[in-house]
Amino acid sequence: MNRSKLVISSAYAAMVTIVFVVVITVWAEFSVPLKDWLKNFSGHHWTSKSIFSLLLYVLMTTVLYFSPQKESEQKIDRALGLLLAFTLLGTAAITLFFTGHNFKIF
């Protein structure tokens, strides 16, 4: 197993998963049918989002790992830097959304 390639693949898969979680979370708050479907899938909408997030992460990591790419220290640094940025932006997006939602801003 090529650890450098796994780190890069995992970082990009995590970025895709972060975007998925932010989008599905906001979308489900505005779409009753989507939220109900998520509830019916596993019993609770957060559990369903977690299941889908895990599946997406594993699938994307596998696909990216087996795709042709060259790894280097520079690519690892870039992937991890982007992952940090996506993590911070995703956290901010969900925090701001629920803050606005709580105070009836939208």
Q: What is the mean pLDDT of the chain?
A: 97
Mean pLDDT of 9-26: 99
The CA-CA-CA angle for residues 17, 85, 11, to 5°, reads 45
Rounded Cα gap, residues 6 and 67, in angstroms:
11
What does the pLDDT read at residue 41? 98
Model confidence at 98, pLDDT cuts 50, 70, 90, reads very high
What does the pLDDT read at residue 69? 86
Examine the pLDDT at 49 and tell me if it is beyond 90.
yes
Does the predicted TM-score (pTM) go above 0.75? yes
Number of domains in the chain: 1
Rounded Cα gap, residues 9 and 21, in angstroms:
18
Full domain range(s) for residue 21: 3-102
Q: Report how far apart, in Å, the C-alpha atoms of 63 and of each of 23, 54, 80 are.
A: 22, 14, 18
